[in-house]
Amino acid sequence: MSNDNQQTTIEKTWVAYGPAGVVGSVHQVEGGFTFRLLTDEAPRAEYPTLEVAKSALHAALLPGAEWPEFREH
């Protein structure tokens, strides 16, 4: 994936599952963690920890959405 014309290496990925299926994913990158919803064309901002990135993904879902189940891939 590319961010501001720089290459970012994804080290680990956690797929986020909601009641209807996959809603997005969290990625460990060199500087921390980022996430993408299924509708995103590019990753969102970088976050310092996995838990903060998971919380940011949840906050980006529709209001009232359940906390997704995160599975490492």
**Domain coordinates of the chain in residue numbers?**
2-72
DSSP label at 11? E
Q: Are 57 and 68 in contact (CB under 8 A)?
A: yes
Tens-place pLDDT, residues 34-53: 999 999 999 999 999 999 99
Least confident of 2-6, 14-18, 44-48, 61-65: 2-6
Residue 1: band (very low, low, confident or very high) from pLDDT cuts 50, 70, 90: very low
Work out whether the CA dihedral 44, 14, 22, 1 comes out positive or negative. Answer: positive
